[in-house]
Amino acid sequence: MAANTPEAVPGPAPALMPDELDSRHLVRRLVALVVVVALVALAVGSLPGLGTVRHRFAQADLAAIGLIGLLKLASCLSNVVAFRYVFCPRMSWRFSGQLSLAEQATNVLVPTGGAGGLALGAWALRQGGMSTEHIGRRSVAFFVLTSVPNFAVAAVLGPVLLTGLFSGHIPVVLTLVLSAAAWSVAAVIALLPRLLARINPAKTGGGVGRRLRAAVVTLDNGIRDTGQLLRSGQWQAIIGAMGYLGFDIAALIAAFAAVGGGLPLAPLIFAYVIGQLGGLIPLPAGIGGTDGGLIGAMVLYGSSLSQAAAAVLAYRLFQLGVPAVLGAIAFIRLRQTLSQSSSPAAACAPLAEPLPIKTVRSTA
């Protein structure tokens, strides 16, 4: 069956940047993040009951601490590679890097559970001359592609942990449930194009029906684009997505090494994947959600509480700080690039003259 592709899906004219993505707003968020980090450091350094955590920081390996920052930088740059080769390899590295890093900073600084980065990317690409249809489907593809490694780790590593081949404490029920959930999500994503093909919101009259159909088509095409990227062996995008996750996991491993050792590798990686689910809670920088999720997961899979808390706090300092600082600088540069070049993304999928709504048809 052919993909549902519209001849033209008219989009809104290029809009002004949303207030929450204004540069001054992001700077205020960056300052607020610094204040929060300082308060956490003060609490760790002074509150009773945290003496073991303070001792671990006092004895921390400075070389390993520096390695955390380098690995997180590599993770951010891997995201740039994936972003460019998913959206358009013909975009300049400068524009791709500025936009990808700015998106990462927005996700850290704006409490929207990741939606802020998508909003910024859509705005900048639209202002840069890329068609709305291409932005939508490639945004879906980018999200799915960068999520695949996480679900693959949970789906594959979980059952392997249950075999007893790896040392460490493995909570059987939790591992089984989370592995089954990962396989279920993977199956839904794989079947989603077929399920979407059965939906025909064009039968719904009015603007709601048109918007629903456009959303279904975009989601369908985005998932198909992801499959095409994987089948065609678009190795730059694939390696970028794998590096984005892999270097981030390596940063957490380095954090454990810095504060006195860590879990066996396989349980640590699985705990990392499930612990990151706390970041889905739309809190500023995921503070509280991600931290609590990671610390809890590490303890469940065999770490002591003091060890997990020290390692996660050291890791989170760089996980938040590196993209926030680099992305804030990139955001300022991005505004300059868009003001100096009217269409830095137009070579990829240029804007077309909007056609009447009645010409939108399904090829299904």
pLDDT score of 167: 77
| pLDDT score at 356 | 36
The 3 state secondary structure assigned to 203-238 is HCCHHHHHHHHHHHHHHHHHHHHHHHHHHCCCHHHH
187: left (phi over 0), alpha (psi -120 to 50) or beta: alpha
- Written as six digits, the tokens of 38 are 């300082």
Q: What is the mean pLDDT of the chain?
A: 79
Give me the pLDDT at residue 3, please: 41
Distance CA 38, CA 31 (A): 11
Is the pLDDT confidence value at 326 over 90? Answer: yes
Contact 217, 360 (CB under 8 A): no
Q: What is the pLDDT of residue 113?
A: 55
Average of pLDDT values for 101-115? Answer: 77
Instruction: Give the position of tokens 């959206």.
Output: 87
Confidence band of 4 (pLDDT split at 50, 70, 90): very low
Question: What is the C-alpha end-to-end distance of the chain, expressed in Å?
Answer: 6
| Angle CA 316–301–73, to nearest 5 | 25
Distance of alpha carbon 302 from alpha carbon 263, whole angstroms = 7
pLDDT for the residue numbered 337: 86
Query: 178, 276 in Cβ contact below 8 A?
Result: no
What are 242-298's pLDDT values in tens digits?
999 999 999 999 999 999 877 889 999 999 998 887 655 555 555 556 788 899 899
CA distance 282 to 57: 29
pLDDT number for residue 364: 36
The distance of Cα 278 from the centroid of its chain, to the nearest Å, equals 13
Residue 30, number of CB atoms within 10 A of its CB: 18
Token pair 């994936």 in the structure block, residue: 82
Measured CA distances, 299 to 130, 171, 284 (Å): 46, 11, 24
pLDDT the model gives residue 328: 87
* 177: helix, strand or coil: helix
Tokens 């600082």: give the residue.
325
User: Of the given ranges (2-11, 228-237, 295-304, 326-335), which has the lowest mean pLDDT?
Assistant: 2-11
Percent of the chain exceeding pLDDT 70 equals 77
Residue 236 pLDDT:
92
Q: Percent of the chain at pLDDT above 90?
A: 25
Is residue 219 within 8 A of residue 196, CB to CB? The reply is yes
By mean pLDDT, which of 34-43, 81-90, 125-134, 251-260 is the weakest?
Answer: 34-43
pLDDT digits (tens, 9 = 90+) for 144-176: 899 889 888 888 998 999 888 887 788 889 889
Which band of pLDDT confidence, cut at 50, 70 and 90, is reported for residue 109?
confident
Q: Which residue has the higher pLDDT, 202 or 100?
A: 100
Output the pLDDT for position 63.
93
* Residue 226 reports pLDDT greater than 80: yes
Residue 59: what pLDDT?
Answer: 87
Indicate the SS3 state at residue 350.
strand
Which segment, 116-125, 287-296, 346-355, is predicted with the most confidence on average? 116-125
Band the pLDDT of 114: cuts 50, 70, 90: low
* Rounded average pLDDT over 297-319: 91
The C-alpha atoms of residue 334 and residue 134 are separated, in whole angstroms, by 20
* Higher pLDDT, residue 212 or 119: 119
Q: Taking the CA of residue 276 as centre, how many other CA atoms within 13 Å lie in the half-sphere pointing to its CB?
A: 18
pTM higher than 0.85: no
| Top mean-pLDDT range of 109-113, 133-137, 261-265, 339-343 | 133-137
Does 70 score more than 60 pLDDT? yes
pLDDT score for 200: 59
What whole-number distance in Å separates Cα of residue 256 and Cα of residue 254?
5
Q: How confident is the model at residue 233 (pLDDT cuts 50, 70, 90)?
A: confident
Mean pLDDT computed over 312-323:
92
